[in-house]
Chains A and B, each alone.
Chain A
Amino acid sequence: MANYSRQVLAVNLNTHEAEYGSYADLGRNIGGLGFALELGIQHRELEPTVLSIGPLTGFFPFASKVCLLSVSSSGLTESYLSGSLSLMLRFAQIDCLLIYGTSKQPVFVSVHSGGQVDFLEGEAAEPLFYKSGSLGRRSFLAFTDGGSLADNYFKLHDEIGRRLYRRNLLGLVVSADRTLNIAKEKDYSELCREILERGRDLEVSYSNQPSCALCPAGCNFSKETEERPELVLSHCLVTCGFAKNIYENVPLAFACLNSLGYPFLHEDLEGLEKMVAELRAQF
Chain B
Amino acid sequence: MKILTAPHMERCIGCLLCLVEAGTVKSSVSLNNTLIRVIRKSSGFGAEVDETAVGGEAERVVKACPRNCLATAEI
Q: Is A137 an interface residue (CB 8 A)?
A: yes
A180 to B24, CA, bound (A): 9
A202 to B28, CA, bound (A): 28
Task: Decide: B39 and A135 in contact? CB cutoff 8 A.
Answer: yes
Secondary structure at the B interface, as helix, strand, loop or mixed, is mixed
Task: Decide: B14 and A182 in contact? CB cutoff 8 A.
Answer: no
Q: Is A100 an interface residue (CB 8 A)?
A: no
Q: What string of 1s and 0s marks CB contacts (under 8 Å) between A23-54 and chain B?
A: 00000000000000000000000000000000
| Contact residues, B4-28 vs A (CB, 8 A) | 11, 13-17, 19-20, 24, 26-28
How many residue pairs between the two chains, A and B, have CB atoms under 8 Å in the bound complex?
72
Task: Decide: A185 and B26 in contact? CB cutoff 8 A.
Answer: yes
Contacts of A58 in B (CB 8 A): 20, 29
| Contact residues, B44-66 vs A (CB, 8 A) | 45, 48, 66
| Contact residues, A180-216 vs B (CB, 8 A) | 180-183, 185, 196, 208-216
Stretch at the interface among A120-128, A171-179, A226-234, A273-281: A171-179
Instruction: Give the nearest-CB partner of B30 in chain A.
Output: A179
Contacts of B26 in A (CB 8 A): 185
Give the interface size class of chain B: 20 to 34
Q: Which of A177, A180, A210 contacts B14 (CB 8 A)?
A: A210
Which A residues contact B (CB, under 8 angstroms)? 58-59, 61, 84, 87, 91, 135-137, 151-152, 176-183, 185, 196, 208-216, 218
A151 to B41, CA, bound (A): 10
Which B residues contact A (CB, under 8 angstroms)? 11, 13-17, 19-20, 24, 26-32, 37-40, 45, 48, 66-67
Contacts of B15 in A (CB 8 A): 211-216, 218
Task: Decide: A180 and B13 in contact? CB cutoff 8 A.
Answer: no
Given the known interface contacts A136-B37, A137-B37, A216-B66, the answer about A182 and B29 at a Cβ–Cβ threshold of 8 Å is yes
Q: List 12 A-B contacts (CB under 8 A).
A: A84-B16, A87-B16, A87-B20, A135-B48, A137-B31, A177-B30, A178-B30, A179-B32, A185-B26, A212-B15, A216-B15, A218-B13
Contacts of B14 in A (CB 8 A): 84, 210-211
Q: Which of B28, B31, B48 contacts A176 (CB 8 A)?
A: B31
